[in-house]
A and B are shown apart, each in its own frame.
Chain A
Amino acid sequence: MSIWRRRLWLAAGVLILTFLVTVPFLLMAGVNPFAAYARFLFVPLTSRFGLLEVGVASIPLLFTGAAVALAFRAGYWNIGAEGQLLLGAIAAAGIGARVDGLASPLALTLVLAGGALAGAVWALVPALLRVRYDIDEVVTTLLLNPVALLVVEGLLNGPWRDPVTRFPESPRIAASAEMPVLIPGSRLHLGFLIGLVIIAGLGFVISRTRAGLELKAVGLSPVAARFAGINVARTLVAAALISGAIAGLGGAGEVAGIQYRLTGGLSAGFGYTGIVVATLGALRMGGVALVALLLGDLTVGASSASRALGIPSQAGDIVAAAVLLVTVAMVAINRYGLRQNRTAP
């Protein structure tokens, strides 16, 4: 099919252009760009430890990428995965510290369910404002992100501050609430599997179920969906809530699988990177999984590059950002057939 050939060309173009765009920055950092790219992309994949760490780094992105992609497919522009993830983390830390006596599966289930619920609640208000009063969710979901961060800092500097060390960290969660590790000796925890299962499940729902078809119809053409008798408002709210729940689950996963407590630096902008993951993944669940792993690879690669080559680890961020910008530009050119306007002004 010519469409696949076209996509292949697009992907190749993205890689080449990204490389060209980032070369000046790497040269300024004083490294050979080829060596840097080898570090970024390939070195993490050459060792068992590296591979497992790539998985670890991709876990929150699997969740936030899936969350954002689902909402975007419904035409609901949820830019608030970051805040929803933080609320999930708060709930997980709060519940996790209070489930001491419970058996492990139950304690962990409570922590995860609480995280999902908190993320959904954080997503609820913008969704209702959108369907009731037509208030743009891009603005409301985005503006709730710093609010969520303030709630985190308020808790860590107030009631949850460590009474002994005075560190702004919540109490450690109960051992029974921790995510089991998938491979002994690594940090790769159950969240990786949960994320993949959610992605597979969403892919199935979107492509095979009635609800999925309604979701796509609403996202592609809300007027036509309404004309056909689909309840557009209900579909949007459902998409927003599920999206928030998945992002919240991602936050709970970071608490229960990595940090074991709430910290101010829990999220390295995972919610925002989720937008990158969803967009680069073309809002397809398979694409989301691939891009989450790719960015995980890049994250691990960048920190290894900074140690081995002495370049700032932000170089990885620059590459990730360049990938996004180039992709968006290429997709826009491809879709809208931009060409130079040669008529006189």
Chain B
Amino acid sequence: MSEPDGATSVLVELRAVTKRYGSLIANNGVDLSLRAGEVHGILGENGAGKTTLMRILYGLTRPDQGQVLVDGESVTIRSPRDAIGAGIGMVAQHFSLVTPMTVAENLTLGRPQGLLIDLEAARAKVDEAADRFGIRVRADARVADLSVGEQQRVEILKALAGDCRVLILDEPTAVLVPQEVSGLFATLRRLTAAGLAVAFISHKLSEVLDVTQRVTVLRRGKVVGTVATADTDERQLATMMVGRPAAPAESAARSPGDTALRVTALDALGRQGLAALKGVSFSVAKGEILGIAGVSGNGQSELAEVLSGMRLPTAGSIEIDGRNIAGFNPRRMMAAGIGRIAEDRYAAVVPDLSVAYNLVLEHLDEFRRGALLDETRIRANADEMISRFGIVSGPDDPVRKLSGGNLQKVLLARVLSRNPKVLMVSQPTRGLDVGATEYVRGEIVAQAQRGAGIVLISEDLDELLALSDRLVVFYEGRVVGELAAAGADPEQLGLLMARGSAA
């Protein structure tokens, strides 16, 4: 699928780049070239290795193997300073602006220029950028007063300052509203017209098709292929991205019963105060596993937080046994029968407390004698859970010493020993090794067989397809599709996830 590169126009090239994190291979022999005058889309599911690759290019991470070539010459990029020196700039997902300062002041930060700051030069840069690239921001505006889209423009200006010829944008549209997206795309076109290369990371097909000239698709750390945007379409890209036949479902033995959980017209705000859930409705039957599919950042985390009682919904209802529990705090959520396995395991345990204490932290009422802790029963409970769930640790070990798999077992033990009516699990096997993954999945299926209604939120499509009876697809905070997991068409699923519609 790839085509010969015009050697003169290639600004930056990665050759056979490999990066391992422990047993995980984030990048596996990745080749990528960025040409002058192109927006190059880097497309892939979460965990496909897009961000790692860009971090390598920008010097935030060192590759284990492979070469980086700038203008055809092999270079070693040890730090962002090296990258900037080589003409590479990056706008990360999370901005690094000093918000009480003005735009011009932010642009002078971190630029070695002697003792005095030259705000006039910074203002001149802002004007120049407006002329050349159509990037319009007021140089004397306080960053805190700017919209997210404007702040992004300041970040782009920062990256362009110096002698930037290659601009990396890590999911730049994730934080933008649609009007700002079109403004960003106009800017990118002007930048490439001026001869820059832009690496555009995304997992939204429509955006990639809209703004790029070439697309490189990554899956599980490897390059699936590089295609010219003009020669491809959403279906091909979706298949490349998801790229597998549907896995056989393990769910045949279960027979879903009455409704266990019903969510109706749920609205909630996200971390930035923007709407993250917009009228989400679904229901889960007793004994059913409902998979929540979607590219990350489309409301799944917020759904998990709402169902955990950690985030208050702004509208809608959550019903268990016909009772609306929307707006309950974590304690009352648990009392209503929801068991919660959080996405961030370390935010669900107190790492410096012992395994025994963490196992009872959600139900201290039952492990006390008056005001005192009932140490005997806490100990007995820990011994029982450690043997029943095969946790490799002693009861008095601090949880921080546990491996990811053992930590997840502690959390499962804490929740499953209560026989919850509804089990909400978010990214249950992320980062776990094969053995722990199998164990955790087995426990989830066993809970369904016991009769719990299960909401399974996962970015691992294999996992969703293998465990779920039914899938709902989240896109931009809405449920955009619902399909049976058995025999789900990967192309249809990929389109729903990346575009919000399968048509």
Contacts and interface: CB of A to CB of B under 8 A. Distances in A.
Interface of A: 208-214, 216-217, 220-221, 223-231, 343-344
A208 B348 CA distance: 22
A225 B350 contact: yes
Contact of B373 (A210, A220, A229): A210
Contacts of B351: 220-221
Interface stretch (B63-71, B327-335, B435-443): B327-335
Nearest to B340: A227
Contact of B308 (A212, A213, A227): A227
Interface string B358-373: 0001101000100111
Task: Report, nearest first, the 7 A-B pairs whose CB atoms are least far apart.
Answer: A229-B331, A228-B361, A221-B350, A229-B330, A223-B347, A228-B362, A210-B368
Contacts of B353: 213, 216-217, 220
Contacts of B309: 229
Interface in B314-369: 329-331, 334, 340, 342, 346-353, 357, 361-362, 364, 368
Nearest to A344: B78
B310 interface: yes
Contacts of B373: 208-210, 212-213
Nearest to B345: A224
Dominant secondary structure at the B interface: mixed
24 contacts: A208-B372, A208-B375, A209-B372, A210-B364, A212-B373, A216-B350, A217-B353, A217-B361, A220-B350, A220-B351, A220-B352, A220-B353, A223-B347, A224-B349, A224-B350, A224-B361, A227-B308, A227-B348, A228-B361, A228-B362, A229-B330, A229-B334, A230-B331, A231-B331
Contacts of A212: 373
A210 B375 CA distance: 10
Query: Which of the four size classes fits the interface of chain B?
Result: 20 to 34
Contacts of B362: 228-229
Nearest to A221: B350
B163 to A, nearest CB: 20
Contacts of A227: 308, 310, 330, 340, 342, 347-348
Nearest to B333: A229
Contacts of B361: 213, 217, 224-225, 228, 230
A221 B351 CA distance: 8
A52 to B, nearest CB: 36
Given A210-B373, A344-B78, A217 B350 contact: yes
Interface string B278-316: 000000000000000000000000000000111000000
B372 A210 contact: yes
A229 B78 CA distance: 45
A110 B346 CA distance: 47
Contacts of A230: 331, 361
B357 A226 contact: no
A70 B373 CA distance: 19
A75 to B, nearest CB: 11
Contacts of B330: 226-229
Contacts of A213: 353, 357, 361, 364, 373
Contacts of B346: 224
Q: Chain A CB within 10 Å — which of B342, B350, B357 has the most?
A: B350
A111 B362 CA distance: 41
A208 B330 CA distance: 24
B78 A343 contact: yes
Nearest to B82: A344
A221 B399 CA distance: 12
Q: Chain B CB within 10 Å — which of A209, A217, A228 has the most?
A: A228
Interface in B368-399: 368, 371-373, 375
A214 B364 contact: yes
Contacts of A214: 364
Q: Chain B CB within 10 Å — which of A208, A229, A231 has the most?
A: A229
B341 to A, nearest CB: 11
A112 to B, nearest CB: 23
A211 B350 contact: no
B310 A211 contact: no
Nearest to B334: A229
A334 B446 CA distance: 45
Contacts of B357: 213, 217
B189 to A, nearest CB: 38
A57 B364 CA distance: 41
A233 to B, nearest CB: 11
Nearest to B371: A209
Contacts of A224: 346-350, 361
Contacts of B78: 343-344
B335 to A, nearest CB: 8
Contacts of A225: 350, 361
B432 to A, nearest CB: 20
Contacts of A223: 347
A277 B233 CA distance: 68
A217 B354 CA distance: 11
Contacts of B350: 216-217, 220-221, 224-225
B348 A210 contact: no
A221 B353 CA distance: 10
Contacts of A229: 309, 329-331, 334, 362
